[in-house]
Amino acid sequence: MQIAILSFFAVFMLIAGAGLLVTYLRNLPEQVPDEVGSPDSKKRFNLRTTLQDAGRRFGVVVGKFEGVLPKSQAETSVLRQRLIRAGYRGDTAVKMFYGGQFVLMVGMAILVVVTGLAKSNYLLVIVASVGFGFLAPGIWLGRKIASRQKQINRYLPDLIDLLIICVEAGLSLDQATARTVEELNKDGSAIADELNVVVLEQRVGALRSEAWKHLAERTDVESVRNLVSMLVQSEQFGSSIAKTLRVHSEALRTKRIQEVEEQAAKTTVKILFPLVLFIFPSLFLVTLGPAMILTLETLQKQ
């Protein structure tokens, strides 16, 4: 029994550690602390460097299992696109995903065998555990993409407001974009990370329209696609960028208000289920219960 518990704990820590290292190290701030000379900042910097080195080494080990699973070029291309939408643009992201998938499959199979969960229907339980290990990374990646897209939608109005302020102050769209990235980087938001890629693409010589179109493809967010389409059309027809951004900002806020009103309207229908299943039976029990008890007692006395 003790061996089974220790094996379960070891496999659980392996799987949990893999997920935590991949997510945590990806979101670690890259900048050096301001007060590098202070002892506290040196400790923080050393800890960050140590964790990054450990994450890289762990990624190298996991990436070695990447070639075990069969995959086609099309599947790899789709996975790379999904990883980019989740914010993982590194060259080793695909290898770490496939390697982690294989490690999780083997770990789940070992966990089921060691803990004795497959006493009956042995083959079925093993196949189910391996299938869970195969599907779990994809499910996690899908949730990561949805969370990032939700964060982009939340920060998009602030982005547009900052662009409007910078453009109306006399900056060009490229300069306004770079200035907006500097401001949004303080919050570490996903939209600032994606917009920083736009700035870098423009600095290496990409056309403005192409850089913004790449932003829409990377994020796969409808509101971002609409913003990019309006900016491209504004550049083609020579209309005012500030007015275009202001119109889009107002439309975005109107859409958000409508979504909130829609959710509020659905609340009356959604609250009906807990009322019928939980509140009404309790209310009937409290109100009619004493009367029924008295009636039964009266009938028994007669």
Q: Which two tokens stand for residue 251?
A: 């439309």
Core vs surface per residue 230-257: b (16+ CB within 10 A) or e: bbbebbeeeeebbebbbebbeebeeeee
Integer Cα distance of 112 and 12 in angstroms:
12
Instruction: Say whether pLDDT at 45 is over 70.
Output: no
On the question of pLDDT at 25 being above 50, the answer is no
Average pLDDT, the chain: 77
Question: Are 125 and 112 spatial neighbours (Cβ–Cβ below 8 Å)?
Answer: yes
**pLDDT reading at 116 higher than 90:** no
The mean-pLDDT minimum among 100-114, 126-140, 216-230 falls in: 100-114
**Model pLDDT, residue 89:** 85
SS3 content of the chain, % helix, strand, coil (to 5): 80, 0, 20
Q: Which residue has the higher pLDDT, 18 or 198?
A: 198
Residue 143 burial class via C-beta count within 10 angstroms: exposed 0-12, middle 13-18, buried 19 and up: exposed
The pLDDT of 241-269, averaged and rounded, is: 86
For residue 126, count CB atoms less than 10 angstroms from its CB and return exposed for 0-12, middle for 13-18, buried for 19 or more: middle
Copy the structure tokens of residue 47: 């800890």
- Name the band, by pLDDT with cuts 50, 70 and 90, for residue 143: very high
**Is residue 154 pLDDT above 90, yes or no?**
no
Question: pLDDT tens digits for 263-281?
Answer: 888 888 888 888 888 888 8
Task: Tell me the backbone φ, ψ of residue 32, rounded to 5 degrees.
Answer: -80, 145
pLDDT at 13: 54
Query: Which range (30-44, 72-86, 165-179) has the least confidence?
Result: 30-44
Q: How many residues does the chain have?
A: 302
Q: What does the alpha-carbon distance between residue 87 and residue 219 come to, in Å, rounded to a whole number?
A: 9
CB 194 within 8 A of CB 85: no
